[in-house]
Amino acid sequence: MILDTPEWAWDKIFEVNVKNTFQLIQEAVPYLEETQGNITCVASIAGFQPINMIGAYSVSKTAMIGLVKALSFELAHRDIRINTVCPGVVKTKFAGMIVETDENAEQFAMQRYAEPREISGVISFLSDNERASYVTGEAYNVCGGGNFRL
Protein backbone atom coordinates (compact mmCIF):
# COMPACT_ATOMS: atom_id res chain seq x y z
CA MET A 1 0.00 0.00 0.00
CA ILE A 2 1.22 3.47 -0.86
CA LEU A 3 0.41 4.86 2.59
CA ASP A 4 2.69 2.25 4.14
CA THR A 5 5.71 3.39 2.12
CA PRO A 6 8.39 4.70 4.49
CA GLU A 7 9.91 8.12 3.88
CA TRP A 8 13.34 6.67 3.13
CA ALA A 9 11.82 4.61 0.29
CA TRP A 10 10.11 7.68 -1.19
CA ASP A 11 13.39 9.58 -1.01
CA LYS A 12 15.37 6.78 -2.68
CA ILE A 13 12.83 6.17 -5.45
CA PHE A 14 12.48 9.87 -6.27
CA GLU A 15 16.23 10.41 -6.10
CA VAL A 16 16.90 7.62 -8.60
CA ASN A 17 13.94 8.11 -10.96
CA VAL A 18 13.45 11.88 -10.96
CA LYS A 19 16.29 13.82 -9.36
CA ASN A 20 19.12 11.80 -10.93
CA THR A 21 17.39 11.90 -14.32
CA PHE A 22 17.19 15.69 -14.05
CA GLN A 23 20.82 15.98 -12.94
CA LEU A 24 22.04 13.84 -15.84
CA ILE A 25 20.04 15.91 -18.33
CA GLN A 26 21.36 19.11 -16.78
CA GLU A 27 24.96 17.92 -17.18
CA ALA A 28 24.40 16.62 -20.72
CA VAL A 29 22.75 19.71 -22.22
CA PRO A 30 25.98 21.53 -23.21
CA TYR A 31 27.21 18.42 -25.06
CA LEU A 32 23.84 17.80 -26.68
CA GLU A 33 23.77 21.37 -27.97
CA GLU A 34 27.15 20.81 -29.67
CA THR A 35 26.20 17.46 -31.20
CA GLN A 36 22.51 18.04 -32.01
CA GLY A 37 21.70 15.24 -29.61
CA ASN A 38 18.39 14.31 -28.10
CA ILE A 39 17.12 12.65 -24.95
CA THR A 40 14.83 9.67 -24.45
CA CYS A 41 13.87 8.87 -20.86
CA VAL A 42 12.33 5.55 -19.87
CA ALA A 43 9.35 5.84 -17.55
CA SER A 44 6.58 3.22 -17.29
CA ILE A 45 2.90 2.71 -17.91
CA ALA A 46 2.79 2.81 -14.10
CA GLY A 47 3.23 6.57 -14.55
CA PHE A 48 -0.22 6.65 -16.18
CA GLN A 49 -1.97 3.92 -14.23
CA PRO A 50 -0.59 3.56 -10.67
CA ILE A 51 0.11 0.03 -9.56
CA ASN A 52 -0.91 -0.51 -5.96
CA MET A 53 2.04 -2.74 -4.97
CA ILE A 54 4.57 -0.19 -6.27
CA GLY A 55 2.78 3.08 -5.57
CA ALA A 56 5.80 5.31 -4.90
CA TYR A 57 7.50 3.96 -8.04
CA SER A 58 4.35 4.74 -10.04
CA VAL A 59 4.22 8.31 -8.72
CA SER A 60 7.92 8.81 -9.52
CA LYS A 61 7.32 7.72 -13.12
CA THR A 62 4.40 10.18 -13.36
CA ALA A 63 6.83 12.86 -12.16
CA MET A 64 9.37 11.80 -14.79
CA ILE A 65 6.75 12.17 -17.53
CA GLY A 66 5.99 15.67 -16.18
CA LEU A 67 9.69 16.52 -16.05
CA VAL A 68 10.09 15.63 -19.72
CA LYS A 69 7.04 17.73 -20.66
CA ALA A 70 8.39 20.71 -18.69
CA LEU A 71 11.91 20.41 -20.11
CA SER A 72 10.70 20.04 -23.70
CA PHE A 73 9.86 23.75 -23.91
CA GLU A 74 13.21 24.90 -22.55
CA LEU A 75 15.26 22.40 -24.54
CA ALA A 76 13.43 23.07 -27.83
CA HIS A 77 14.98 26.54 -27.82
CA ARG A 78 18.37 24.80 -27.73
CA ASP A 79 17.46 22.43 -30.59
CA ILE A 80 17.34 19.43 -28.23
CA ARG A 81 14.40 17.06 -28.39
CA ILE A 82 13.31 15.13 -25.29
CA ASN A 83 10.74 12.34 -25.06
CA THR A 84 9.69 9.52 -22.79
CA VAL A 85 9.04 5.87 -23.55
CA CYS A 86 6.59 4.22 -21.16
CA PRO A 87 6.86 0.44 -21.45
CA GLY A 88 4.35 -2.00 -20.13
CA VAL A 89 5.67 -5.19 -18.61
CA VAL A 90 8.89 -6.21 -20.35
CA LYS A 91 10.51 -9.62 -20.08
CA THR A 92 13.53 -8.54 -18.06
CA LYS A 93 15.12 -9.52 -14.77
CA PHE A 94 13.41 -6.50 -13.14
CA ALA A 95 9.98 -7.92 -14.00
CA GLY A 96 11.02 -11.50 -13.28
CA MET A 97 8.19 -12.64 -11.01
CA ILE A 98 5.53 -10.93 -13.12
CA VAL A 99 6.59 -12.48 -16.42
CA GLU A 100 6.99 -16.06 -15.16
CA THR A 101 3.49 -16.66 -16.43
CA ASP A 102 1.29 -14.69 -18.82
CA GLU A 103 -1.71 -14.90 -16.50
CA ASN A 104 -1.89 -11.10 -16.01
CA ALA A 105 -1.16 -10.28 -19.64
CA GLU A 106 -4.88 -10.09 -20.48
CA GLN A 107 -4.85 -6.40 -19.49
CA PHE A 108 -3.02 -5.79 -22.77
CA ALA A 109 -4.78 -6.17 -26.14
CA MET A 110 -1.94 -8.35 -27.41
CA GLN A 111 -2.25 -10.52 -24.27
CA ARG A 112 1.50 -10.91 -23.81
CA TYR A 113 4.46 -9.08 -22.35
CA ALA A 114 7.03 -7.16 -24.37
CA GLU A 115 10.44 -8.32 -25.46
CA PRO A 116 13.24 -5.79 -24.79
CA ARG A 117 13.82 -5.33 -28.56
CA GLU A 118 10.25 -4.04 -28.91
CA ILE A 119 11.02 -1.18 -26.54
CA SER A 120 14.44 -0.46 -28.02
CA GLY A 121 12.87 -0.05 -31.47
CA VAL A 122 10.80 2.91 -30.28
CA ILE A 123 13.84 4.40 -28.54
CA SER A 124 15.83 3.98 -31.75
CA PHE A 125 13.16 5.86 -33.70
CA LEU A 126 13.05 8.71 -31.18
CA SER A 127 16.85 8.96 -31.29
CA ASP A 128 16.86 9.46 -35.05
CA ASN A 129 17.17 13.21 -35.71
CA GLU A 130 15.88 12.77 -39.24
CA ARG A 131 12.80 10.57 -38.75
CA ALA A 132 11.75 12.05 -35.39
CA SER A 133 12.82 15.64 -35.97
CA TYR A 134 9.40 17.07 -35.04
CA VAL A 135 8.79 14.91 -31.97
CA THR A 136 9.45 16.39 -28.54
CA GLY A 137 7.76 16.41 -25.15
CA GLU A 138 5.88 13.20 -25.88
CA ALA A 139 5.29 10.10 -23.78
CA TYR A 140 5.02 6.96 -25.89
CA ASN A 141 3.23 4.00 -24.36
CA VAL A 142 4.66 0.72 -25.61
CA CYS A 143 2.38 -1.74 -23.90
CA GLY A 144 0.71 -4.04 -26.39
CA GLY A 145 -2.53 -2.11 -26.55
CA GLY A 146 -3.22 -1.42 -22.89
CA ASN A 147 -5.41 1.56 -22.09
CA PHE A 148 -2.97 3.63 -20.06
CA ARG A 149 -3.35 7.43 -20.11
CA LEU A 150 -3.71 10.22 -17.58
Tell me the pLDDT tens digit for each residue of 119-145: 899 999 999 999 999 999 999 998 776
> Could you tell me which of 59, 33, 31 has the C-alpha nearest to residue 44?
59
> Could you tell me which of 148, 95, 90, 147 has the C-alpha nearest to residue 121?
90
Three-state DSSP class for 58?
A: helix
| Dihedral of alpha carbons 46, 100, 10, 43, sign | negative
Residue of 112 and 50 predicted with greater confidence: 50
Q: Give the residue extent of every domain in the chain.
A: 2-142
Q: Is 57 a catalytic residue?
A: yes
Determine contact, residues 65/139, Cβ cutoff 8 Å. Answer: yes
* pLDDT of res. 29: 98
Choice among 31, 57, 113, 134 that is catalytic: 57
DSSP annotation of 19 reads I
Residue 71: Cβ within 10 Å count: 21
Report the predicted TM-score, pTM, of the whole model to 2 decimal places. 0.86
Residue 107: pLDDT band (50, 70, 90) is low
Tell me the pLDDT tens digit for each residue of 78-98: 999 999 999 987 655 655 555
% of residues, the chain, pLDDT over 70: 79
| 85 burial level (CB within 10 Å; 0-12, 13-18, 19+) | buried
Mean pLDDT lowest for which of 30-34, 38-42, 69-73, 119-123?
119-123
* pLDDT of res. 43: 96
What average pLDDT does the segment 26-46 reach?
Answer: 95
pLDDT over threshold 50, residue 99: no
Fold classification of 2-142 (topology level): Rossmann fold (3.40.50)
User: For all residues of the chain together, what is the average pLDDT?
Assistant: 86
| Dihedral of alpha carbons 92, 94, 97, 99, sign | negative
